[in-house]
A = this chain, B = another copy of it.
Amino acid sequence: MPVNIPSLLPEQLLPITGITLGVAEAGIKKPDHKDLLVMLLDDDVRVAGVFTQNRFCAAPVIVAKEHMAVSSIRALVVNTGNANAGTGEEGLAHARATCNALAEILGCNVQQVLPFSTGVIMERLPIEAIVKGLPKAAANLKPDNWFAAAQAILTTDIVPKAVSKQIQLDGKTITITGIAKGSGMIRPNMATMLGFVATDAAISQALLQEMAQYAADRSFNRITVDGDTSTNDAFMLLATGTAGHAEIISRESAGFVQLQEAITAVAAELAKMIVRDGEGATKFISIQVDAGKNPQECTKVAYAIAHSPLVKTAFFASDPNLGRILAAIGYAGIDDLDVNGIQLYLDDVLVVENGGRANRYQEADGQRVMNQSEITVRVVLNRGAATTTVWTCDFSYDYVRINADYRS
């Protein structure tokens, strides 16, 4: 079950002027599940995005990048139940056909539509079902459909992931609303499975793209469930410019930092929800690596711990078998690491120093922290001033069950 995700009421998600959303049941997933989402954007909405670095990137990712390079964007279309990845030329044709069908309905150019898919890899996209479902999704476009949209993009996720936030800027209220999905195959590299964050702030295209990367690097690019980087990861940031404040055109503009932090906070909250709803997750683990020589080595250590099946199963068992964390630090790839200089903390409990168990460490203290549903592992490398935090979950029977059963 998801780890401490507060349940959400549809009305807690604030609409963004300039964006409407419609969902439909196209019949790609099992019956009685919405599996198709259309987002319609007003003329002036700016769109930025970051995509998976997986070389086997999905057909919709390829097409979305192509379209963003040549055109302004008027619509996004998302199907779940099928990733349209590892589908070769036919997959590309299907992604383009999806955009084309929606463009005809909305009366825009095919290149103004961005396609997104999530689900099983290497299966033919049921293009007929999608084309048939698009008019239904387009028929119920509404500004306050964010909750339905968050539901429609789920796959193995248990709960919808969405958040709204408001900040004051230049005397105006800026609203940010975001949705995301993802539960397994989660180790985003540039972005997560699917994340969409929209704001009514006014900001230049270049700065919006920069902000998308900034936010992704501090949110979706800091989470892992199973170390598997998806073929379909995409994080999209939309800005409608309808809030009425002066447009942000440089990093020195009033509100740039404020907006960047607010968008990053929304992205981070969504990213953490993905971990909290990670496949089979029973615990939410923050791994903070401090005092490294550079962020890269902190990240190496953090992911070595976050990906170790032995560490993850120990968390599942609430077993303070913390030597497994030492082993992961040791093989993280820092060749000149002096293990005698390291400290390891579990929340506030000092576990390791001087290359071994800390003198004042008592197993009962470790056990107390391991029993919690939220735990911070802190490694102090004592080699510099860099720091990184990565979020992950434990590894349970249910992860195996979910992934052994996924297609059946």
Residue A116 at the chain B interface, CB threshold 8 Å: no
**Other-chain contact of A406, B321, B329, B401 (Cβ < 8 Å):** B321
Shortest Cβ distance from A313 into B: residue: B403
Interface string of A368-408 (1 = CB under 8 A from B): 00000000000000000000000000011101110111111
Interface string of A329-343 (1 = CB under 8 A from B): 111101101011000
**How many Å lie between the Cα of A89 and that of B354 in the bound state?**
8
Question: Interface residue tally of chain A, by bracket?
Answer: 35 or more
**Other-chain contact of A313, B124, B332, B400 (Cβ < 8 Å):** B400
**Other-chain contact of A395, B187, B340, B400 (Cβ < 8 Å):** B400
A117 to chain B, nearest CB (A): 12
Residue A66 at the chain B interface, CB threshold 8 Å: no
Classify the secondary structure of A's interface with B. Answer: loop
Chain B positions within 8 Å of A332 at CB level: 55
Interface segment among A19-27, A79-87, A129-137: the answer is A79-87
A354 to chain B, nearest CB (A): 5
Can you offer 13 A-B residue contacts whose CB atoms are under 8 A? Answer: A54-B331, A85-B327, A86-B326, A86-B356, A90-B356, A227-B308, A228-B308, A231-B330, A309-B395, A316-B404, A321-B406, A397-B397, A399-B400
- Which 6 pairs from chain A and chain B are nearest by CB? A121-B323, A88-B356, A56-B330, A122-B323, A317-B404, A229-B331
Given known contacts A54-B331, A313-B399, A319-B408, what 8 new A-B pairs fall within 8 Å (CB)? Answer: A55-B331, A56-B326, A56-B339, A83-B323, A85-B323, A87-B357, A89-B354, A91-B355
